[in-house]
Structure 1
């Protein structure tokens, strides 16, 4: 089943346009989009295949972490993770 998973992390400094563009590039292979320009938060919405909501969030969180590292962003704690299934 396909899931759209939104993940957001929050930290202590405002992120630049360039940083979020790097995140957008890093999540693009997962059908993702990124957000957070000019805020102390960054986030992404990813598309994943998983059998259930918990597995979708776990898979997307791992992919999000990989994308954050690829983009060179500071590692902030995840403050939100929500999944919506294709049948919802």
Structure 2
């Protein structure tokens, strides 16, 4: 099942536009988007395949950490993570 996973890390300095663009490039292969320009937090929303929510959170978090490292971002702790399945989204439409 496909899951949309939102992850954000928070730290002690402001994130630049260039850093967020690098993160956007790093998460693009996961159908991701990046955010955080001008804030002390950077984040991404990714698409992962997983059997359940816990697995989706784990996979999304791991992909986020990998992408952040590839983008040259600091290894800040994850401050937020959430996952929504395709089934959850369909239920919301009914």
Partner deviation per Cα, 1:2-57 (whole Å, 9 max, x = no partner)? 00000010000000000000000000000000000000000000000000000000
In structure 1, what is the equivalent of residue 32 of structure 2? Answer: 32
2:44 equivalent to 1:44: yes
In structure 2, the gaps of 5 or more residues are: 89-94
5+ residue gaps, structure 1, are: none
- Tell me the matched-pair count: 88
After TM superposition, which residue ranges in structure 1, 4 or more long, deviate above 6 angstroms?
Answer: none
SS at match of 2:14: coil
Instruction: State the partner residue of 1:78.
Output: 78
Instruction: Return the structure number with greater helix share.
Output: 2
- Rounded Cα–Cα distance in structure 2 between residues aligned with 1:33 and 1:54: 21
**TM score, norm. by length of structure 1:** 0.99
| Number of the residue aligned with 2:92 | none
What value does the CA root-mean-square deviation take over the aligned residues? 0.4
